Amino acid sequence: MTPLKLIQAILYPLTSAAVLVPLIVFWLLTAFAAWGGLLGLFLMAFVLLAVVRFLMMVLEARARGAAPETPGIEFFSVFGDGWNLFPAALVLLFGWIIVAANDAFGIAWSTAVSVLVSIVFPASLAVLAVTRSPLQSINPVAILRLLERCGGTLWIAIVFAELAGWLAYLGNALPSMLASFIQMYLWFAYASLLGSLIEPYNLFEEIGIPEPLEKTADEIAGDVEKRRVGVLGHAYGFISRDNREGGFRHILAEIARDPDPAGAWAWYFGRMLQWENNVPALFFGQHYVHDALRHGEEATALKVAMRCRLEDPGFRPLAEDRAMLLAAAQRSSNSELAEVLRMG
């Protein structure tokens, strides 16, 4: 990584509105919670849940070379995805190991263990971001493979973590609001930097991290269903706030990662049709038709188009798909749909 890109990665939380706005919101919420007494403790717990989740979203997005999604109200929930809360467990685990080493063997051993933890921790976070698997993030084989692949640059994250800790300590001498902002920024800068360091290695495509346990077909199906439910709930948060594009972008990104993309399209479309307001389903149907046509699945495209017309006779495919859908309708002798498409 060049010095310029290094600086850009560290400053990314301040230069990207997608991160800066949530950073400021979280900073203000934590400041409010700190002054809230007993009630503030409860608020702080939920805010920290959201912060940890979003930090992992930033890390994952930067590792993909993309911008992170806007955090929604679901980030404050104790339910939903658990993988992006696992860094808290990692901190507790590694902290316990250091303390245990000190109690059992003394300061020299605990110092050595601390050095080892400082190397393993960023690698573990990187594995977690790539695989979204807490088990893999503590899998020694996966961690060693990642260190072998990215060890040449991960040392930068280790040095930055030490520097950030020192700066956070010095910041305690500043006014409390400014100090808390600096500390919050350093967390986000670390996540951005770590993601940017592993991004050039294309780990999402290249790194081979084996599953530690074979799952049954029912377990796999259950995991897929659970994942889709969470994704749709997240997307609904965007769509209900008049950000349909953001919601669809989230769903489409997850469909690309789904083990059964064709099944995922049908699943999301069917679930959206069950919403009280099915207008988003019709817009999603346009994307569904587009994807089906591009994959040569004319029967699926026609079926989806007819289903959308059943909901709203005024439904039309995307302009770029109209000619292909018309040709498919003519080949299938669907004269009704063909006539509608010819009329525009």
Q: Given a cut of 60, is residue 220 above it in pLDDT?
A: no
pLDDT at 64: 87
Percent of the chain with pLDDT over 70: 94
- First-residue to last-residue Cα distance in the chain: 52
C-alpha–C-alpha distance, residues 318 and 45, integer Å: 45
* pLDDT band with cut points at 50, 70 and 90 for residue 1: confident
Alpha helix stretches (DSSP H) within 173-314: 176-198, 203-206, 217-240, 244-257, 261-273, 279-294, 298-311
Angle between helices 244-257 and 261-273 (to 10 degrees): 150
Name every residue whose Cβ is closer than 8 Å to that of residue 284 and which is 6 or more positions away in sequence.
248, 251, 268, 269, 272
> Mean per-residue pLDDT for 242-261?
90
* pLDDT band with cut points at 50, 70 and 90 for residue 172: confident
Q: Is the dihedral of CA 13, 15, 21, 24 positive or negative?
A: positive
> Mean per-residue pLDDT for 208-226?
58
pLDDT at 128: 92
Q: Model confidence over 48-73: pLDDT tens digits? A: 999 999 999 999 999 988 888 888 77
pLDDT at 242: 86
Here the tokens at position 92 are: 């507790």
Q: Given a cut of 70, is residue 180 above it in pLDDT?
A: yes
pTM, two decimal places:
0.60
Closest of 263, 327, 320 to residue 296, by C-alpha: 327
Alpha carbon of 114 to those of 99, 100, 122: distances in Å? 10, 11, 13
For residues 285-311, b (16+ Cβ closer than 10 Å) or e, as one string? Answer: bbbbbbbbbeeebbebbbebbebbbee
Here the tokens at position 229 are: 């439910």
Name every residue whose Cβ is closer than 8 Å to that of residue 96 and which is 6 or more positions away in sequence.
none
Q: How high does pLDDT run on average in the chain? A: 88
Q: Given a cut of 90, is residue 206 above it in pLDDT?
A: no
User: From the centroid of its chain, how far is CA 306?
Assistant: 34
Q: Given a cut of 70, is residue 210 above it in pLDDT?
A: no
* pLDDT band with cut points at 50, 70 and 90 for residue 211: very low
Q: Which helix (H) or strand (E) holds 46?
A: helix 37-64
Q: Write the DSSP assignment of 149-171 as a string of letters.
A: HHHHHHHHHHHHHHHHHHHHHHH
pLDDT at 344: 66
Q: Given a cut of 90, is residue 181 above it in pLDDT?
A: yes
Please count the other Cβ atoms lying within 10 Å of the Cβ belonging to residue 230: 15
> Mean per-residue pLDDT for 96-114?
88
Say which DSSP state 321 is in: G
pLDDT at 198: 92
> Mean per-residue pLDDT for 299-323?
91
pLDDT at 221: 62
pLDDT at 102: 86
